[in-house]
Amino acid sequence: MKTILYPQNKVLDELCQRPEIEKTELGAVVADIIKRVKSDKDAAISYYSEKFHGIPIGNPKVSSEEIRDSSAQVTDELKKAINTAKTNIEKFHLSQLITEPVTETFPGVKCWRKSVPIEKVGLYIPGGSAPLFSTVLMLGIPAKLAGCKKIVLCSPPGKDGKINPVILYTAQLIGITEIFRAGGAQAIAAMAYGTESIPKVYKIFGPGNQYVTKAKEMVQLDGISIDMPAGPSEVLIIADSSANPVFVAADLLSQAEHGPDSQVIMISDNLQMIESVKEETEKQLQSLPRKDIAGKALDNSKLILFNTLDECIDFSNLYAPEHLIINTSDPEALAGKVINAGSVFLGTYSCESAGDYASGTNHTLPTNGSARSYSGVSTESFLKKITFQKLSREGILNLGPSIELMAEAESLYGHKNAVSVRLKSLKNG
């Protein structure tokens, strides 16, 4: 990890840059994948599975028998933990279902909004070396609560050609049965355009690497909605002299182990804390099973010393982290100054892992600075809002003249006439 002391304002934007693949290469590769999936469909899914992972697959659909049998491969202890997380996530996301009141904006004019579930949604669940069954909970539960009719799940298979049984068990637990062995950009393309086996959906959700994120951006240009640009994971930690460096180092490594393109940042107003965290991070790294992956991520990560905690929060807002941990003596004081962040964790014991798994908040969050304009996934992400209005006889009489004047001022006389004929009818009885 690189240590930076008292950076000047002119370099702050540079410090906010995330590690990334050369954009021209990335875009070209993903564009070719999308093109091939659109033309060859299931055959393309099998081709890329063998090309990238060495795993040839036939029919990508997971059978109902395989889904059912997954339960026997999950321990009772893990099932209990998953159910605890499921309960908390359901509680938090159920609270987001709100019926909005009817508003009378003008005498005789009533307006309201109705929440309607998106009919067909696609969930991308990262697999491979770290099968994220927790993401099944984070995406599947709000989709179910929202009432989506069709929920399609794609996840890359392991070396045995099968999706991790814990992913299958978790999907079955919340009622998802349309599951397909497909990963990477090709899975995003399949859900966007459809194949012989994988249905086309209206909106795609889920985190992934830069290829997955680029594919989501590209299919969005064809009118397929996405949740957000959710790319490689990241965390920023603000720690003062009161923080425990063992905890801070553990939080940094918890994100670094996601992948070599992940980024972790620790900022402080205390040099001794930075030095202690750096030492502790190197120590804990050696005991991690994924230390090679985490080590590569640490090469792209930084420890930054500022003069004050206010400067720390200013930099955090500029960086706009996916995860923000405030581990200070008074975290609530800084929390009130947070403007840009995906999800915030306050105090000594609020590790980011709690949000990843079981506290109840969603872990599908905006990355790469997207927290400046995007929110994390919620139940509302699976809903669309339709507005309604109803004008009574009194309403058109009261509001009509204003509409006529505005329409005429814009030279839209057809708009004006739609009001005028009604007013004339009412005046003539």
Q: What are the average pLDDT values for consecutive 10-residue runs of the chain, which has 429 residues?
A: 95 88 79 97 94 86 96 97 98 96 97 97 87 95 98 93 95 97 96 98 91 93 90 92 98 93 95 97 95 93 97 98 97 97 97 96 93 96 97 97 98 98 93
CA distance linking residue 285 with residue 253, whole number of Å: 7
At 422, which CATH number? 1.20.5.1300
DSSP string covering 10-41, please?
A: GGHHHHTPPP---HHHHHHHHHHHHHHHHHHT
DSSP label at residue 258 = T
- Residue 25 confidence (pLDDT): 86
Establish if 400 belongs to a structural domain.
yes
Contact 235, 322 (CB under 8 A): yes
Is 240 in the same domain as 217?
Answer: no
Say if 373 falls within a structural domain. no
Q: How far is CA 65 from CA 20, 90, 143, 160, in A?
A: 40, 27, 24, 17
Instruction: Say yes or no: 44 and 12 in one domain.
Output: no
Other CB atoms closer than 10 Å to residue 28's CB: what's the count? 11
Structure tokens of 159? Answer: 């070396």
pLDDT value for 58: 85
Q: What is the extent of the structural domain holding 67? A: 23-231
Q: Is 378 inside any structural domain?
A: no
Q: Which residue of the set 53, 93, 258, 323 is catalytic?
A: 323
Cβ neighbours of 259 (radius 10 Å): 22
Same domain, 246 and 138: no
pLDDT of 196 reads 97
Looking at the structure, do residues 108 and 40 belong to the same domain, yes or no?
Answer: yes
In a domain, 327, yes or no: yes
Residue 7 lies in a domain: yes
Q: What pLDDT, on a 0 to 100 scale, did the predictor assign at position 160?
A: 86
- 249 and 220 inside one domain: no
Is the domain of 88 the same as that of 35? yes
Task: Kindly state whether residue 385 falls inside one of the protein's structural domains.
Answer: no
Nearest partner of 362 among 343, 346, 345, judged by Cα = 343
SS (H, E, C) 128-150: CCCCCHHHHHHHHHHHHHHCCCE
Distances (CA, A) of 330 to 160, 248, 251, 326, 347: 49, 16, 19, 9, 8
- CA 196 – CA 62 distance, rounded (Å): 14
Instruction: Among 320, 344, 360, identify where a domain stops.
Output: 360
In a domain, 386, yes or no: no
Q: Do both 296 and 216 map to the same domain? A: no
Q: Which of 257, 280, 322, 352 is catalytic?
A: 322
Does 194 lie in the same domain as 105? yes
323 in active site: yes
Q: How many domains does the chain have?
A: 3
Both 122 and 213 in one domain: the answer is yes
Same domain membership, residue 249 and residue 212: no
> Does residue 253 lie in a domain region?
yes
- On whether both 302 and 334 belong to a single domain, the answer is yes
Single-letter residue type at 321: P
pLDDT at 5: 96
CATH code of the domain containing 50:
3.40.50.1980
Based on the residue annotation, tell me whether 90 is a catalytic residue of this protein: no
Q: Are residues 84 and 9 in the same domain?
A: no
- Return the pLDDT at 23: 65
